């Protein structure tokens, strides 16, 4: 959380405490007092959620199911500073006709070697002038084939001998569920006779 969000949250807390203290001594009916407190609390939550989209920082929300890749930046983990690394990806969500459905948005993904290689290959295509479409296959993201069995995302699997390095929690933006291809042309609507 940034200091600006904390400052706005603190401002709402002060406003709510002031409203509560005024409501305790006022002669208004109880339902007016309760309504004012609920409206103030609701606006505090709505402001917090709205600020996340206005901050200009990359979001940690999941990628859209289909998107036009605009640019990427891969920051590898740094052992010297204990930085975990991250993958920054700038995309436009695509609708069913391959038309951008929203404004460009920056996303931050946790660093994983396989994901970094896949995104770097897509960026190389982009550097050569090829428009690239990314796609999240939710079926592959939810399950993964491991030695003929299906493993669900989020479940910790351990080997029979306990080894902390063998415990796995699959990455939600699993490289297997993310694929890149050349951006198909825009699907134009059927045109009738003039």
Report pLDDT digits (tens) over 38-82. 887 788 777 777 776 666 778 888 899 999 999 999 999 988 888
Give residue 174's pLDDT: 54
Average pLDDT for 141-158: 43
For 11, the token pair is 């401002």
- Tell me: pLDDT of 88 over 80: yes
- In this predicted structure, what is the pLDDT of residue 8? 77
pLDDT of the residue at 10:
79
Cα 110 to Cα 64, 83, 172, distances in angstroms? 16, 11, 9
At residue 52, the pLDDT reads: 64
Structure tokens at 109: 């993904």
More confident site: 33 or 122: 122
- Taking the CB of residue 11, how many other CB atoms lie within 10 A of it? 12
DSSP letter string over 117-177?
HHHHHHHHHHHTT--EEEEE-HHHHHEEEETTEEEETT--B--SS--GGG-B---TT-TTT
Residue with the larger pLDDT of the pair 181 and 52: 181
Q: What percent of the chain stands above pLDDT 90?
A: 29
**Tokens, residue 42:** 């609701």
Does the structure show a pLDDT above 70 at 87?
yes
More confident residue, 150 or 19: 19
* pLDDT at residue 141 tops 60: no
> Which residues are within 8 A (CB) of 182 and not within 5 positions of it... i.e. 6 or more apart?
125, 130, 131, 132, 133
Average pLDDT of the segment spanning 109-135: 93
Judge contact between 108 and 55, C-beta under 8 A. no
């Amino acid at each position: 959380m940034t200091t600006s969000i904390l400052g706005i949250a603190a401002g709402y807390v002060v406003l709510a405490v002031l409203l509560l203290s005024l409501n305790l001594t006022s002669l208004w009916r109880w339902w007016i007092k309760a309504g004012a407190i609920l409206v103030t609390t609701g606006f505090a939550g709505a402001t917090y959620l709205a600020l996340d989209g206005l901050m200009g920082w990359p979001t940690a929300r999941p990628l859209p199911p289909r998107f036009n890749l605009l640019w990427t930046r891969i920051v590898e983990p740094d052992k010297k500073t204990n930085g975990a690394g991250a993958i920054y990806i700038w995309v436009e969500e695509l609708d069913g006709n391959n038309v951008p459905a929203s404004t460009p948005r920056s996303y931050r993904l946790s660093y994983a070697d396989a994901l970094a290689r896949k995104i770097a290959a897509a960026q190389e295509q982009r550097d050569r002038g090829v428009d690239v479409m990314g796609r999240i296959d939710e079926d592959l993201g939810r399950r993964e084939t491991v030695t003929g069995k299906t493993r669900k995302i989020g479940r910790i699997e351990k080997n029979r001998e306990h080894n902390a390095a063998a415990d796995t929690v699959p990455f939600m933006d699993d490289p297997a569920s993310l694929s890149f291809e050349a951006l198909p042309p825009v699907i134009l609507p059927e045109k009738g006779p003039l």
